[in-house]
Structure 1
Amino acid sequence: MKKPTPLPTDVDPQGFLVADAYASGVPRWRLQTSELVTPSRGIRLARANEHDLELLGRLHTAVTPRCAVSHVTAALLWSIPLPIYLEAEGASGMIHVTRRQEIGRVKRRGVIGHRAPLLARDVRVLNGVHLTSPEWTWVDLARQMGRGSLVAAGDALLARDNPLSSIDAIQEVIDRRPKVKGIRMAREILPLLRAGVDSPQESRLRVKIVDAGLPEPAVTQPIFDDHGRYMSTPDLQYKEYKIAMEYEGDHHRSDPVQWGRDIERDDRLRAKGWIVLRFSDVQMKGGWVNAERKLRDALTSRGWRRPSS
């Protein structure tokens, strides 16, 4: 085989459409060299980029007219948090692509095809990739995710900084898709979404608390002392009962400076009569019974009583 020659400057060596390469004068043999892979007909990628979802999404939506990357693939490109099993699906190299219902599913290697009544506003362009909107993507995910994970994904759309969507936008998509699989779950979960949540695990913790029959805690509300001086913004709190809850991710334990600040923060609150409860991945995965008891005992000690049914 001939020694590969450099591609023309108007052909991206990371990945390109075969039609564009031919239009630029690239000979057929050059597209068959070992440094390139063929994820699907009409597409070539540099071998090092064969699992690059953004590049794959850009090329698939370029080679197939009137379609959008969707489902798990779109969620990953929007940086919507997913459970581990869906992250693994996204890493498999398969791309979810949705076309309008009247056109028909995309049928090509490397693609999981879908049909849906997409409107122009349901498709966005992100870094050159046509993909379903965050709210449409969230509804697509409803059939594949449990309560806690779906709440975490929805909360991520309502992030404090640069939110991807809004409750009204999500509701509008739900109303337009009454028969899609998972719509009942989407309707059930929508009222549980909250803006301003800092991490998926905080969302999952809040859902566990509510599902345990305990009152819903407030999300990331600042606490001030009697003189109006800022003290802390716990992940979750019951202001009425002066109970603060913090979810400690791995970065809290691995960063000595952050760990020290956390200790000082909690000490300030306790000095003002607050109970501070800390949670980690241990409680979320296997120790929830004890964690729930700890929280219930704290609430009871501050005068909370379960409402009579």
Structure 2
Amino acid sequence: MFHRSDAEAHGLGPHRVKAVDLRSLGCGFYAHRDIEVTESMLASAVVEHYPGAAITGPTAARIHRLPLPRELQTWQVGQPIHLNAPAGTRRRDSGLVSWSHRRVDIGTAFVSGRVVLASRVDTWLDPCPMLPLDARVVIADHLVRHPRRGLERRALPYASVEDLRAAVESRVRQHGIAAARSALALTRVGSDSPQETRCRLGCHFGRLDEPELNPVLRGAGGRWLFQPDFLWRHARLLVAYDGQPHFTSDRAVHDQDRALDLQALGFTVLRLFRDHLPAPRLHASDDQVRAALANSPAVALVRRALEAA
């Protein structure tokens, strides 16, 4: 992958970029037809061509594998990449690049040669104005959650709640920062998946007591018993959100056996499934998100279980 000026610098004339083995990506960038062009490859090439630029926004979010809404999770050639313009410059959007003109914290960014990738915290802040409330909180929860020992290749969270707060406070005049601030107020450490976050938000908007998130329950002698997604300890209510991995016969049998053991210890076990939560809507207003989650079947079931306890 290269820019037209690079070809000229190596003595290749204009006819070379018109050869059948190359394809144009726009704005003077070309790639060999037999190469699969990925978003990270293209973004890196463009940033190298514009020293001082940085990969930001949805492009950075996808490179960091942040839990974006389904509509934003993938990229294909022909869609723009998202970059921040070099300081002191103004650049116009094109079919290849959607430019922003914000301050990128180089001190926390990932830098490799001339390629600058905004940090995960900066990347959360950047698209907040274009995301619904639940999606903003989902990403924040993802950043502050503690990784599972033995299951992930890291030992520490990507960020702390204090890191997010400091980032928000450092950008008080940035357009759309109120969207990040409202999400920060709802961020909690402990949710392990987007649907767990959305379920927790539903309980909050439905004015239910705050549950403990993924606590470890231990029996006699400290023996590990269970780690529910949510625990209302005063009501001895355990709630688990069961996603796709639970829909196998072996896992279902295991889950049922565990539920019986917990019921014998005096716990009520409630299982929630995908249809108990409304489908995420990319363009929903904050009020629409609050109402949809608060009035979801998941919240109604939890409320009934708490009232019966």
TM-score (norm 1): 0.82
Task: Give the superposition deviation at 1:127.
Answer: 10
2:102 to 116, 121, 135: 116
Which residue does the alignment assign to 1:262?
255
Q: Deviations over 1:126-178 (max 9, x none)?
A: 79852211111111122112221111111111232233222222112211211
Residues 278 and 25 of structure 1: is their aligned pair in 2 closer, same or farther, counting only changes over 3 Å? farther
1:211 aligned partner: 205
Q: What is the identity, as a one-letter code, of the residue corresponding to 2:261?
A: R
> In structure 1, how many angstroms separate the alpha carbons of the residues matched to 2:2 and 2:53?
18
Q: Give the AA of the match of 1:202.
A: E
Provide the rounded CA distance (Å) in 2 between the counterparts of 1:127 and 1:54: 15
Kindly provide the amino acid, as one letter, of the partner of residue 102 in structure 1: G
**Given the superposition, is the C-alpha separation of residues 51 and 277 from structure 1 closer, same or farther in structure 2, using an over 3 Å criterion?**
farther
Instruction: Using the TM superposition, give the Cα deviation of residue 204 of structure 1 relative to its aligned residue in structure 2, in angstroms.
Output: 1.0
Say if 2:168 and 2:180, in contact at 8 Å, map to a contact too. Answer: yes
Q: Do structure 1's residue 282 and structure 2's residue 268 form an aligned pair?
A: no
Alignment of 1:233-252 (within 5 A): 233-252=227-246
**1:74 counterpart residue number:** 60
- SS of the residue corresponding to residue 209 of structure 1 reads helix
Letter in 1 for 2:305: A
What is the 5 A alignment of 1:20-169?
20-23=6-9, 28-47=14-33, 52-87=38-73, 93-105=79-91, 107-125=93-111, 129-161=115-147, 162=154, 163-169=157-163
Equivalent of residue 214 in structure 2, options 208, 216, 220? 220
169-178 or 281-290, larger mean C-alpha shift: 281-290
- Cα 1:88/1:134, change in 2 over 3 Å: same
Q: Which runs of 5+ in 2 are unaligned?
A: 148-153, 280-292
Letter in 2 for 1:65: P
**Could you tell me which residue of structure 1 aligns to residue 174 of structure 2?**
180
Distance (Å, rounded) in 2 between the aligned partners of 1:299 and 1:126: 52
The Cα of 1:37 is off from its aligned counterpart by 2.1
Q: Which amino acid aligns with 2:184?
A: L
Q: Are the counterparts in 2 of residues 231 and 268 from structure 1 also a CA contact under 8 Å?
A: no
CA contact (8 A) 1:72 1:90 kept: no
Equivalent-residue separation in structure 1 for 2:278 and 2:112 (angstroms):
34
Alpha-carbon distance in structure 2 between the residues aligned to 1:89 and 1:105: 22
Deviation larger for 222-231 or 127-136? 127-136
Q: Is the 8 A contact 2:80 2:94 kept in 1?
A: no
Indicate whether 1:293 and 2:269 are aligned: no
SS at match of 2:82: strand
Q: Output the amino acid matched with 2:144.
A: L
Q: Structure 1 residues 99-108 or 174-183, which shifts more?
A: 99-108
Question: CA–CA distance in 2 between the matches of 1:216 and 1:25?
Answer: 67
- Tell me the equivalent position of 1:12: none
SS for the counterpart of 1:113 is strand
- Partner Cα separation in structure 2 for residue 92 and residue 22 of structure 1: 25
What per-residue deviation string (whole Å, max 9, x for no partner) do you get for residues 91-128 of structure 1? Answer: 86210111245222355441111101233225323798
Q: Distance in 1 between matches of 2:209 and 2:228?
A: 16
How high is the TM-score relative to the length of structure 2? 0.82
Q: How far, CA to CA, are the matches of 2:78 and 2:144 in structure 1?
A: 28
Distance 1:200 1:16, change over 3 A: same
1:123·1:130 contact (CA, 8 Å) conserved in 2?
Answer: yes
1:52-84 alpha-carbon deviations (Å, 9 max, x no partner): 111111111111110111111111111111112
Quick check: 1:100–1:116 contact (8 Å CA) kept in 2?
no
Q: Which amino acid aligns with 1:187?
A: R
Residue 241 of structure 1: CA displacement? 1.8
* Superposition CA RMSD, Å: 2.7
Task: Answer with 282-291 or 190-199: which moved more.
Answer: 282-291
Instruction: Quote the sequence identity (%).
Output: 26
Note if contact 2:78-2:95 (Cα within 8 Å) is conserved in structure 1. no
Q: How many equivalent residue pairs?
A: 287
